[in-house]
């Protein structure tokens, strides 16, 4: 878990490149407090900061160098020992998993990424071919961004780092409107003009600092061949191989099927996990039912359990101190997850397991039942997409900015449920849920691990028949069937619920009144502050419920102020 930055610029003097790279590293230092290094070669300067999990004693070994290439990788390569054996390298556990990167890239420049089983993002610069390749893992757990304007190629693990390396960055009004609608930046519609994300399962290659990039997908959701392993075997393998060596095992436990299953599999594997559950310091939060289930699971199985107390003051503090999570992600539970990651760190761990990804892969949402139902309704569901955006969101955007946003239509003529799940991965899981885990976990010095999202498991899930995903009112059929002996009946039979948050109620009290006083300007002049003040007043008095939408505005404003410091 690290931060990577770089500038490839033929016309920029070395001293200026290194100065800007140092500024870029400072912008993502949360990603790597255990060591940093800057390396220059020709007209390329790269920087790296590291949070040590594997190979702690090699904290300053990246960026990597060979006679042919320079490279760095952020994340975890779970099959690095097998790859080292194949490459004839030492299997000393003190060595970083990253040492497999350059030998693989040099031997198989077009296919090396498919060899990596893990969560990662990085770059390889081929000194001989003079090409720069940026890449990202199969599902987008780890981030990588780059700029597309001017004569310099600036890239990094965070948007803030890339902006720190650019000259005169400007806001994208289209990106901001989309953010206000969804509550998180879209992968394909950045908030800063000229800054793009490497897409999940893709690579981007530059032949020259001023050239247009060539983009190519290296991962396919469709499984290329038949696997003899079941969903059960694949998940068991994933959980066991991700248990950290030398760190306590900590797992998020919400009381739902997914987090309960991961926690219990860690327990069965002998990892002695400690489970963490959020407890909002508000009786009316709606999360008490989740907490009661989590307590029962932990007690019944003899698992250590900590309740992570989250208060209104935690949210007020993060807004007031300036947004430090790279991008404005306004998920109401994001700061609660950050508090959970901080507790994991206090317990001595640098890793936090979660159950994210199971709903998207195995079809766990209510609208998946509609997409699996009668054809006319199923087809309509698949064409309209799966954005969590509501009529309320569109109305708020119109009231705030005067902009009208139409429904996004995605014509699809394949299986409706599969089309919906594919968009779930691309438009919801990756830009919102996985970005939340990465940014809010990294800010606490903790890596979120997501066993459900291993490449083989993703492909196996996408090969399931419709009835193995949804059968009538029963969702996640394959997961329920294959782990019926592991999951308690009171968890298996529990109806799907979201993650309730008291944020909307908090915004009717002192927190909301304080944030309303900040409505004196707007981001990039995109709305009249007087219109925002009216919306705050409507929410605070209870005339309307704009809680989630106004939180997006507050987060965006805090992010804007932090970016301009």
Place of tokens 């309730």: 500
Collapsing DSSP to helix, strand or coil, 175 comes out as helix
At 563, the pLDDT band (50, 70, 90 cuts) reads: confident
Is residue 545 exposed (0-12), middle (13-18) or buried (19+ Cβ within 10 Å)? middle
* pLDDT greater than 50 at residue 58: no
C-beta separation of 433 from 439 below 8 A: no
* Per-residue model confidence as pLDDT tens digits over 153-185: 999 999 999 999 998 899 999 999 999 999 999
Least confident of 107-121, 237-251, 394-408: 394-408
Q: Residue 110: which residues within 8 A CB-CB, separation 6 or more?
A: none
Place of tokens 């998207």: 360
pLDDT of residue 465: 94
The CA–CA distances, whole Å, from 142 to 156, 380, 480 equal: 11, 33, 29
Q: For the residues 96-100, what does the mean pLDDT come to?
A: 87
Q: Is 431 left (phi over 0), alpha (psi -120 to 50) or beta?
A: alpha
pLDDT of residue 409: 66
pLDDT of residue 550: 98
Q: Residue 300: which residues within 8 A CB-CB, separation 6 or more?
A: 488
Q: What are phi and psi of 494, to 5 degrees?
A: -75, 135
* pLDDT greater than 50 at residue 539: yes
C-beta separation of 345 from 511 below 8 A: no
Reading across the β-sheet that carries 64-65, which strands appear in turn?
Answer: 64-65, 69-77, 118-126, 131-136, 202-206, 214-217
* pLDDT greater than 90 at residue 92: no
* pLDDT greater than 50 at residue 59: no
pLDDT of residue 183: 95
C-beta separation of 411 from 403 below 8 A: no
CA distance 497 to 364: 10
Collapsing DSSP to helix, strand or coil, 354 comes out as coil
**What count of Cα atoms within 13 Å lies in the side-chain half-sphere of residue 545?**
8
Q: What is the DSSP string of 40-57?
A: EETTEEEEEEE--SSSGG
Q: For the residues 239-247, what does the mean pLDDT come to?
A: 92
C-beta separation of 198 from 136 below 8 A: yes
| Selected residue with higher pLDDT from 466 and 376 | 466
* pLDDT greater than 80 at residue 60: no
* Per-residue model confidence as pLDDT tens digits over 201-229: 999 999 999 888 999 999 999 866 556 78
pLDDT of residue 381: 65
Q: For the residues 133-153, what does the mean pLDDT come to?
A: 95
Q: For the residues 31-40, what does the mean pLDDT come to?
A: 82
Q: For the residues 426-446, what does the mean pLDDT come to?
A: 95
Collapsing DSSP to helix, strand or coil, 39 comes out as strand
Place of tokens 């359990």: 305
C-beta separation of 430 from 187 below 8 A: yes
User: What pTM does this model have?
Assistant: 0.94
CA distance 244 to 56: 12
Q: What is the DSSP string of 66-99?
A: -SSEEEEEEEEETTHHHHHHHHT----TTS-GGG
pLDDT of residue 110: 87
At 93, the pLDDT band (50, 70, 90 cuts) reads: low
C-beta separation of 446 from 341 below 8 A: yes
Exposure string (b/e) for 57-73, b if CB count within 10 Å is 16 or more? ebbebbbbeeeebbbbb
At 263, the pLDDT band (50, 70, 90 cuts) reads: very high
pLDDT of residue 17: 95
pLDDT of residue 36: 83
At 377, the pLDDT band (50, 70, 90 cuts) reads: low
pLDDT of residue 354: 98
* pLDDT greater than 60 at residue 524: yes
At 246, the pLDDT band (50, 70, 90 cuts) reads: confident
* Per-residue model confidence as pLDDT tens digits over 332-354: 999 999 999 999 999 999 999 99
* Per-residue model confidence as pLDDT tens digits over 457-506: 999 999 999 999 999 989 999 999 999 999 999 999 888 777 788 999 99
* pLDDT greater than 80 at residue 383: no
């Amino acid at each position: 878990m690290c931060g990577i930055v770089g500038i490839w610029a033929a016309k920029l003097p070395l001293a200026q490149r290194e100065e800007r790279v140092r500024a870029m590293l400072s912008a993502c230092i949360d990603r790597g407090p255990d060591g940093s290094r800057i390396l220059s070669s020709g007209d390329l300067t790269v920087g790296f900061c590291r949070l040590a999990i594997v190979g702690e004693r090699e904290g300053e070994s990246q960026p990597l160098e060979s006679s042919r290439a320079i490279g760095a990788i952020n994340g975890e390569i779970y099959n690095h020992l097998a790859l080292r054996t194949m490459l004839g390298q030492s299997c000393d556990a003190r060595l970083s998993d990253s040492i497999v990167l350059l030998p693989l890239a040099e031997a198989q420049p077009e296919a090396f990424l498919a060899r990596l089983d893990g969560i990662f993002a990085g770059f390889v610069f081929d000194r001989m071919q003079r090409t720069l390749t940026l890449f990202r893992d199969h599902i987008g757990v780890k981030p990588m961004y780059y700029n597309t304007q001017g004569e310099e190629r600036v890239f990094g693990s965070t948007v803030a780092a890339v902006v720190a390396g650019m000259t005169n960055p400007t806001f994208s009004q289209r990106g901001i409107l989309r953010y206000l609608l969804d509550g998180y930046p879209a992968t394909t519609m950045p908030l800063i003009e000229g800054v793009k994300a490497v897409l999940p399962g893709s690579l981007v290659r530059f032949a020259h600092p001023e050239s247009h990039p060539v983009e190519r997908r290296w991962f396919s959701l469709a499984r290329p061949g038949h696997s003899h392993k079941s969903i059960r075997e694949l998940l068991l393998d994933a959980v066991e191989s991700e248990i950290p060596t030398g760190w306590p095992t900590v797992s998020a436990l919400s009381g739902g099927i997914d987090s309960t299953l991961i926690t219990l599999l860690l327990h069965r594997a002998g990892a002695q996990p400690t489970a963490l559950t959020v407890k909002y310091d508000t009786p009316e939060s709606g999360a008490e039912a989740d907490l009661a289930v989590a307590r029962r699971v932990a007690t019944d199985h003899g698992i250590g359990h900590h309740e992570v107390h989250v208060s209104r003051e935690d949210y007020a503090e993060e807004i007031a101190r300036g947004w430090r999570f790279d991008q404005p992600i306004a998920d109401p539970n994001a700061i609660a997850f950050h508090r959970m990651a901080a507790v994991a760190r206090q317990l001595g761990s640098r890793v936090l397991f979660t159950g994210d990804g199971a709903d998207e892969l195995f079809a766990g949402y209510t609208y998946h039942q509609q997409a699996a139902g009668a054809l006319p309704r199923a087809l309509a569901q698949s064409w309209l997409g799966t954005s969590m955006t509501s009529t309320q969101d569109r109305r708020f955007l119109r009231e705030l900015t005067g902009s009208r946003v139409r429904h996004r239509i995605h014509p699809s003529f394949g299986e409706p449920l599969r089309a919906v799940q594919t968009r779930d991965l691309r438009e919801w899981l990756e830009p919102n849920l996985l970005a939340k885990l990465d940014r809010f976990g990294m800010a606490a010095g903790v890596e979120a691990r997501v066993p459900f999202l291993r490449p083989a498991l993703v492909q196996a899930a996408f090969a399931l028949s419709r009835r193995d995903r949804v059968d009538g009112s029963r969702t996640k059929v394959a997961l329920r069937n294959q782990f019926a002996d592991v999951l308690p009946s009171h968890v298996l039979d529990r109806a799907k619920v979201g993650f309730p948050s008291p944020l909307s109620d908090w915004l009717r009290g002192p927190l909301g009144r304080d944030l309303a006083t900040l409505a004196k300007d707007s981001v990039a002049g995109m709305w009249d502050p007087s219109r925002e003040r009216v919306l705050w007043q409507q929410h605070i008095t209870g005339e309307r419920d704009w809680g989630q939408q106004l939180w997006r505005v507050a987060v965006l404003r805090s992010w804007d102020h932090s970016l301009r410091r």
